[in-house]
Homo-oligomer: A and B are copies of this chain.
C-alpha cells in the first residue's frame, strides 16, 4: 500500500526536569497529561514512548501528572532512564512513537507453546537488551520459557544470543578454570574457597559471580562484605594477571546483559526456567572466556533441584549445550538436604568462609569438604592432577594455608580486605519440643533470612545451629535471626512463627 498524507511534523520536544524518582530498572517518563506532546502524539498513561537525547534512545512507559508537579512544557524521567540517556537538567528531549517490537510475534509464538528459530530468539534477546521490553513482556517471556518449555536447539540459540549481545573476555592462558553452583542451598559459598585453591595451584580462574537472584546471598554479595567486587574488565584483568584468580561481580561487565535484565523480573517472580537457567549459566562462562568448568548441583527436597531425576535432566541439558560451544564441563550432584555451614546471608556466610580458609577450630567442615571436592574435580578436569588425585591436592592447598594466603592477596589486589560487622538486632528461634532434627526446609530458612533484610542489608540473615540429626531440648535455639532494623527482625520472626515446620523435630 502507498499512503497519501500531507503531514510530516518533526518529533516533539519538552524541557527536562529531574524529579529524582527511582523505579529500580524500569524506564518511566513523566509528562503533564495536557502537554503538547501528549496532545499531538496521542500519548496516554501507560503508552510506550521513544525518548531520544544526546544521541541515545530508550523506550519508556508514560506516567502522566495533572497539576503542579510538571508544567506543560516539561517532562521528567525515572532515575534509571535519566542515567541511561546521560540527561541533564533543562535539556530539550524528543519524544515519538516507538517502532512496534519486531519480536512481538515470536514472543507470542512461544507463549502459545510454539518453537522458536535461532534468529527469532536472537531478535527477542536484542530487543530485551535494547530496553524495548517492559516488565510485563519480560515476565511473559520468562513464564513462557518456564519449566522445560525451551528445547535443546532453543537453549543453544538463547545461550549464543546472550553471548553475542554482550562483552566477551579473552585470556592468554590456554586453559581457563571456572565453577558454578546451581542455586537453592543456603550458605553454599564454595567459590570463595575454590578460587584461592585453584589459583594457589598456579591455574587461571577469573571468577565472575552474580548477586543474589532469589536467595539471601550471592557470591558477589558475600565477597563484597570482605573486599571490592565491582571491578571493571580492566581491573579484573590486572587482578588475574597478578594472582591467577579473582572473585568479581559480573553484573557491571555486560557479559550477558540480557540475562541481567531477565533476572530483574525473575527475582520478584521467584522462578526461572531450565532453558534460561542453562543459558544464563553457560552464556556467562562462555563470555568470561572460560574453557573448563565444574558445576555443583545440590539436590534435596527443598533445594532448587528437588530430585535426582530433575538434576540429571538439567545435567544432560548442560552437557549438551556446553558441547555445542566446546566448553569442557564436569557436573557434581551434591547433598542439598540442609544448609551448608552455619551462616545464611552475606556477612554470616563470609564468616564461615574465612573460618574454613584459616583452618580455624570449629570451622564448618561440610563447607570445607564441598569446596575441596569441587576444586579437586576442577584440577582433574584441567589435567593439573592425575585423574582422581585432585581432591587430595586441593586438600593439601587448603590445609597448608596456601589457599588462605592466596585469598588475602586476591582481596588486596581487588582493593583491600575489610571486616564485616555484626547486625544491630538479633533474636533466637527456639525448639518447641525435645527431640532430634529430622527435616530442614531450606527455602523457608532462606525466606527468613531475606525477610530479615539479606542481601540488601549484608549483615542480616540467619545463623543456623541445628543441622540434621542434632539432638535438641525444648527452648534450645535452632537459629538466630540477624537484622539491621526492628521492623525486619519482627517480620522475619513472624514468618518463622507462622511456619512451624521449617526445622522438623522428631524422635
Q: Is A91 an interface residue (CB 8 A)?
A: no
Across the interface, which residues of B come within 8 angstroms of A429, CB to CB? 1-4
Across the interface, which residues of B come within 8 angstroms of A44, CB to CB? 456
Q: Which of B45, B136, B487 contacts A9 (CB 8 A)?
A: B487
Among A188-196, A222-230, A493-501, the one that faces the other chain is A493-501
Whether A488 and B68, one on each chain, are in contact in the complex, defined by CB atoms closer than 8 angstroms, is: no
**Within the assembled complex, what's the spacing in Å between the Cα atoms of A497 and B8?**
14
Q: Is A22 an interface residue (CB 8 A)?
A: yes
This chain: how many copies in the complex? 2
Q: Which of B42, B46, B146, B494 contacts A485 (CB 8 A)?
A: B42
Q: Is A261 an interface residue (CB 8 A)?
A: no
Q: Is A27 an interface residue (CB 8 A)?
A: no
Across the interface, which residues of B come within 8 angstroms of A491, CB to CB? 41, 97
Across the interface, which residues of B come within 8 angstroms of A503, CB to CB? 1
Among A262-270, A295-303, A313-321, A402-410, the one that faces the other chain is A262-270
Q: Is A5 an interface residue (CB 8 A)?
A: yes
Whether B497 and A1, one on each chain, are in contact in the complex, defined by CB atoms closer than 8 angstroms, is: yes
Q: Given A428-B4, A485-B39, is A140 in contact with B137 using a C-beta cutoff of 8 Å?
A: no
Whether A493 and B5, one on each chain, are in contact in the complex, defined by CB atoms closer than 8 angstroms, is: yes
Q: Given A2-B432, A139-B136, is A41 in contact with B144 using a C-beta cutoff of 8 Å?
A: no
Q: Given A1-B429, A143-B111, A429-B3, is A30 in contact with B41 using a C-beta cutoff of 8 Å?
A: no
Whether A484 and B146, one on each chain, are in contact in the complex, defined by CB atoms closer than 8 angstroms, is: no
Q: Is A370 an interface residue (CB 8 A)?
A: no
Across the interface, which residues of B come within 8 angstroms of A64, CB to CB? 21-22
Across the interface, which residues of B come within 8 angstroms of A427, CB to CB? 3-7
Whether B430 and A497, one on each chain, are in contact in the complex, defined by CB atoms closer than 8 angstroms, is: no
Place the interface of chain A in its size category: 35 or more
Q: Is A373 an interface residue (CB 8 A)?
A: no
**Within the assembled complex, what's the spacing in Å between the Cα atoms of A489 and B69?**
30
Q: Is A20 an interface residue (CB 8 A)?
A: yes
Q: Given A271-B108, A427-B5, is A20 in contact with B69 using a C-beta cutoff of 8 Å?
A: yes
Kindly provide the distance from the CB of A222 to the nearest chain B CB, expressed in whole angstroms.
Answer: 19
Across the interface, which residues of B come within 8 angstroms of A231, CB to CB? none
Contact with B along A438-457 (1 / 0, CB 8 A): 00000000010001010011
Whether A65 and B140, one on each chain, are in contact in the complex, defined by CB atoms closer than 8 angstroms, is: no
Q: Is A72 an interface residue (CB 8 A)?
A: no
Whether A147 and B487, one on each chain, are in contact in the complex, defined by CB atoms closer than 8 angstroms, is: no
